[in-house]
Amino acid sequence: MTTKWKLFIATGVLLLILTGCDNSLTEPNNTISQTEDPAPETKDSSEPTIVEDIKTDESIVSNGESSETSKPTEVAASLKDNYLKKLNEMEEADRNLEPASTIAGLEEQEAERYNKWDSVLNEVYSVLIEQLDKEQMDQLREDQRNWIIYRDETAKESSLKYSGGSYEALEYVATQATLTKERSYLLVAKYMK
């Protein structure tokens, strides 16, 4: 094989690699992997959440035509996409929130953040009740009960490092908020159709 052909093939391979990279650069960072563990390890709430790209079913409509059988899947995929978008917007709002200047103010902000994420988690759970079959829902219900215990125990354990101090309650509610946010992403990515 001549050097000219080797260069031609190498250029072609490089173009294919760059084309693949270009697509990954244009996709948003704030979506979640479908393989995430339902009870993730506790993270420092000051660390940014790193989530990975998920793929949606792109075979819903072929040749620009929609068939009767594809409409339910199309609506469901749209619902999942809408919830991921909503969660991403909520997370962005959290990042852009100006922190309060007192411990009491910070605790109030974290309590509001927790309530916001808990509300959306309950909303997602309600949608899943409608989407999942009985066996899947029974399993999810059990997983959710175990996760609530995990969330509260993790928040308690995390807050104990400030036992008796003014940060104890703040750390508890901040951990609950962060874990609830992560759980919301997981339920949408893993279960929602």
- The whole-number pLDDT of residue 64 equals 40
- Total Cβ atoms within 10 A of residue 151: 21
Q: pLDDT of the chain along its 193 residues, tens only?
A: 555 545 445 444 444 344 444 433 333 444 343 334 444 444 444 433 333 333 333 333 333 443 344 445 555 457 899 999 999 999 999 999 999 999 999 999 999 999 999 999 999 999 999 999 999 999 999 999 999 999 999 999 999 999 999 999 999 999 999 999 999 999 999 999 8
pLDDT value of position 5: 45
Q: What pLDDT, on the 0 to 100 scale, is given for residue 155?
A: 98
- 113 part of a folded domain: yes
Give me the residue label for tokens 């949408």: 188
At 33 the pLDDT is 39
Backbone phi and psi for residue 20, each to the nearest 5 degrees, phi listed first: -65, -40
Provide the domain limits for residue 164.
Answer: 67-191
Q: What local confidence, expressed as pLDDT, does residue 102 receive? A: 96
What's the angle, vertex CA 87, arms to CA 86 and CA 89, rounded to 5?
65
Q: Are 189 and 32 in contact (CB under 8 A)?
A: yes
Round to whole Å and give the CA distance between 189 and 102: 36
CA atoms within 13 Å, Cβ hemisphere of 133: 1
Please calculate the CA angle 73-78-79 and round it to the nearest 5 degrees: 100
Output phi, psi for 166, to 5 deg.
-75, -15
Distance CA 64, CA 54 (A): 23
User: Maximum CA pair distance of the chain?
Assistant: 76
**pTM surpassing 0.85?**
no
Residue whose C-alpha is closest to residue 91's, from 192, 190, 178: 178
The CATH number of residue 155's host domain is 1.20.1270
On whether residue 55 sits in a domain, the answer given is no
pLDDT of residue 118: 98
Is residue 30 within 8 A of residue 89, CB to CB? The reply is no
Q: What is the pLDDT of residue 171?
A: 97
What tokens appear for 76 in the block? 């469901």
How many domains are there within the chain? 1
The whole-angstrom separation of Cα 97 and Cα 74 is 35
User: Is 43 part of a structural domain of the chain?
Assistant: no
Rg (CA), the chain: 22
At 1 the pLDDT is 52
Domain contains 46? no
Q: Which residues contact 111 (CB under 8 A, 6 or more apart)?
A: 173
